[in-house]
Structure 1
């Protein structure tokens, strides 16, 4: 029974035109070539360096770049969960990535998008613990955003490949 369900599911997926994201034009090598042709511009601050390193790992390196990825990061935090003494008990951290992909042949803007990621953490009495939680939360958010940017780039190149 399980085998019949799996086979039926695969038939339905193929009938609806489903193709894996990283199979641009039927070739994972073509997608890898597109992604490795992206130069990642330096990103400000320590969390920007962490995001850039993750993107460089995910995109790979190629020869001469065809595109430049420009990212600026914004952080905002807000306290909530107010105690009777008016002190916040939790903090919400939001990181916004302003992403631009520029085609180096003519310096034209290919796409521009803002991506946002949010998390929260408890505030405790130790200043060191709060700082450590804030930095760890920011690091996790930029790594998550880097993965989302990587997927967005792959989606873009899949759509470009399909357009006649």
Structure 2
């Protein structure tokens, strides 16, 4: 009976030193949040760029004088997937890929160079071109948010790694 109690406790002991730390420790005053608030998003071309820049600015909540600039280049494409016998498309895939660089404004050095991306399926409504266009636009809005989340998460991890160990 006693070994049944002691054995699980012995197995749990190594977990106390696993090294997990909260990413946003310290809240808005923490190092990661302050680093993210010091990132300025450079203008991005096109409608998808406008959506992406707004999504990034919402998530980064920049304030004060920027120390970094985020340069983003987007690749937005739509490809037909499902095809009927009459060669009309029934399903599309919208893909949004971003290559981004975090640039230190003090010396122009590229601190982080990475990519992010996602895709979404769209049903093509043969009887309503408006419905298809609306679905494509909705997919682009969703994809912009998803890719922006990926970028901000990678920036936060980068900022956390640059923090001095405690």
TM-score (norm 1): 0.85
Compute the RMSD of aligned alpha carbons. Answer: 2.3
Residue in structure 2 matched with residue 3 of structure 1 by the alignment? none
Task: Spell out the pairing of 1:83-162 with structure 2 (5 A cutoff).
Answer: 83-125=84-126, 126-162=128-164
Residues 92-134 of structure 1, C-alpha deviations (whole Å, 9 max, x = no match):
1100111110011110011111211111111111111111111
Residue in structure 2 matched with residue 45 of structure 1 by the alignment? 46
Residue in structure 1 matched with residue 57 of structure 2 by the alignment? 56
Change (3 A) 1:112 1:15: same
TM-score (norm 2): 0.84
Q: Is the 8 A contact 2:23 2:32 kept in 1?
A: no
Change (3 A) 1:112 1:16: same
Distance in structure 1 (CA, Å) of the matches to 2:163 and 2:57? 22
Distance in structure 2 (CA, Å) of the matches to 1:80 and 1:44? 27
Q: Is the 8 A contact 2:101 2:112 kept in 1?
A: yes
Q: Structure 1: 5+ residue runs without aligned partners?
A: 1-7
Q: Is 28-37 or 92-101 further displaced after alignment?
A: 28-37
Residue in structure 2 matched with residue 71 of structure 1 by the alignment? 72
Distance in structure 2 (CA, Å) of the matches to 1:127 and 1:39? 38
Give the Å deviation of 1:52: 1.4
Q: Structure 2: 5+ residue runs without aligned partners?
A: 1-9
Give the Å deviation of 1:83: 1.1
Change (3 A) 1:32 1:91: same
Q: Is the 8 A contact 2:55 2:144 kept in 1?
A: no
